């Protein structure tokens, strides 16, 4: 009985999430008039026209590439920058820790729209408008708080015994952290990587405001530019969304493998 309820609940949840996605894929393969038709779900008109138009006419591969570069760089740099900071905030004692964590958090509390004008001026002064670093820097800035808090939370929950054992064996504090705590933090690192990648991948406001030429634009901006004055080329937009989901799916698949139990549990009992 229990198992049946569980099975039903699982299926219901999966269906809720999967159904709009299926519809999206289907709709991207049909002509647009089918979206507004008043007749039933016709099966007529399946074809890859939208995808063809997307890549032949709109050169969608360029924004895809830009997004991949920007998102990967942001993720990598965010990990490099946030993990040590998180470790320090979780494990080490120093004055003003609580205030600093609060400040870090405060950064992500601000509505982005009001920051855009000032950020534009700063990036322009640095000559970074319409460049890849010009996007990576703001993304890094606003993805780091979440990364820091996530990793800090994780480090805090990690039992200090293993590290202390390593230090008793003669390792320095830093070395103990890198060789013992970091591997155990794999699930949190993977989660942080996924979330940062997705944040950078989907971010729209900064990408729109800080890029100018078509070969620097990212996927969300390219999708927005598909829109005409009144017309919304649904087919192409959905096709673009489906296409854009592929790199994301790859990244998620790759990283989610690390989100498994057993790396921390049992390690303490050892």
The smaller minimum CB distance to other proteins, of residues 111 and 170, is found at: 111
For the chain, give percent helix, strand, coil, nearest 5.
Answer: 75, 0, 25
Minimum distance between the CB of residue 169 and other proteins, rounded to whole angstroms? 18
Minimum distance between the CB of residue 17 and other proteins, rounded to whole angstroms? 5
Among 54, 64, 70, 104, binds other proteins (CB under 8 A): 104
Minimum distance between the CB of residue 263 and other proteins, rounded to whole angstroms? 7
DSSP state of 216: G
Among 54, 64, 135, 146, binds other proteins (CB under 8 A): 146
Neighbouring C-beta atoms of residue 167, cutoff 10 Å: 16
Among 4, 41, 168, 169, binds other proteins (CB under 8 A): 41
Q: In sequence order, what are the residues at sequence separation of 6 or more whose Cβ sits closer than 8 angstroms to the Cβ of residue 247?
A: 64, 67, 68, 201
Q: DSSP H helical segments within 92-185, as ranges?
A: 97-107, 112-125, 133-157, 161-168, 173-176, 182-184
Q: Does 40 bind other proteins (CB under 8 A)?
A: yes
Q: Does 5 bind other proteins (CB under 8 A)?
A: no
- Kindly identify the residues of this chain, within the stretch 62-101, that bind other proteins according to CB under 8 A: 80-82, 84-85, 87-89, 92-95, 100-101
| Cβ pair 64, 247 in contact under 8 A | yes
| Cβ pair 35, 234 in contact under 8 A | yes
Q: Which two tokens stand for residue 235?
A: 């087919």
Q: Does 8 bind other proteins (CB under 8 A)?
A: no
Q: How many CA atoms, within 13 angstroms, populate the side-chain half-sphere of residue 109? A: 6
Burial class (CB in 10 A: 0-12, 13-18, 19+), 223: buried
Q: How far is CA 85 from the centre of its chain?
A: 20
| Cβ pair 68, 246 in contact under 8 A | no
Among 1, 20, 56, 170, binds other proteins (CB under 8 A): 20
Q: Does 49 bind other proteins (CB under 8 A)?
A: no
Among 1, 4, 17, 270, binds other proteins (CB under 8 A): 17
Minimum distance between the CB of residue 269 and other proteins, rounded to whole angstroms? 7
| Cβ pair 217, 207 in contact under 8 A | yes
User: How many residues bind to other proteins according to rule CB under 8 A?
Assistant: 128
| Cβ pair 245, 252 in contact under 8 A | no
- Kindly identify the residues of this chain, within the stretch 229-248, that bind other proteins according to CB under 8 A: 229-232, 234, 237-238, 240-241, 244-245, 248
Q: How many whole angstroms separate alpha carbon 118 and alpha carbon 240?
A: 31
The smaller minimum CB distance to other proteins, of residues 16 and 169, is found at: 16
Minimum distance between the CB of residue 16 and other proteins, rounded to whole angstroms? 7
Q: Does 126 bind other proteins (CB under 8 A)?
A: yes
- Kindly identify the residues of this chain, within the stretch 149-208, that bind other proteins according to CB under 8 A: 149-150, 153-154, 156-158, 173-174, 187-188, 190-191, 194-195, 198, 201-202, 204, 208
Q: Does 18 bind other proteins (CB under 8 A)?
A: yes
């Amino acid at each position: 009985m229990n198992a049946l309820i569980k099975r039903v609940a699982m299926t219901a949840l999966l269906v809720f999430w999967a159904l709009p996605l299926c519809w999206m894929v289907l709709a991207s393969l049909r002509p647009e008039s089918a979206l507004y038709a008043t007749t039933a779900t016709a099966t007529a008109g399946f074809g890859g026209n939208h995808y063809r138009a997307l890549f032949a006419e709109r050169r969608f591969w360029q924004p895809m590439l830009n997004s991949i570069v920007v998102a990967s760089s942001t993720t990598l740099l965010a990990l490099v920058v946030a993990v040590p900071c998180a470790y320090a905030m979780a494990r080490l004692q120093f004055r003003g820790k609580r205030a600093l964590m609060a400040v870090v958090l405060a950064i992500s509390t601000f509505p982005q729209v009001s920051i855009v004008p000032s950020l534009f001026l700063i990036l322009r002064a640095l000559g970074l408008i319409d460049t890849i670093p010009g996007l990576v820097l703001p993304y890094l800035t606003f993805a780091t708080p979440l990364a820091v808090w996530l990793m800090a939370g994780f480090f805090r929950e990690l039992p200090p015994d293993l590290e202390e054992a390593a230090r008793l064996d003669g390792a320095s504090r830093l070395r103990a952290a890198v060789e013992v705590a970091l591997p155990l933090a794999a699930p949190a690192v993977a989660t942080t990587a996924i979330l940062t990648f997705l944040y950078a991948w989907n971010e729209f406001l900064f990408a729109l405001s800080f890029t100018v030429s078509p070969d620097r634009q990212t996927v969300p901006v390219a999708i927005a530019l598909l829109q005409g004055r009144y017309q919304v080329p649904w087919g192409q937009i959905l096709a673009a969304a489906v296409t854009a989901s592929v790199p994301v799916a790859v990244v998620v698949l790759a990283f989610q493998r690390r989100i498994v139990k057993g790396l921390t549990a049992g390690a303490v009992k050892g």
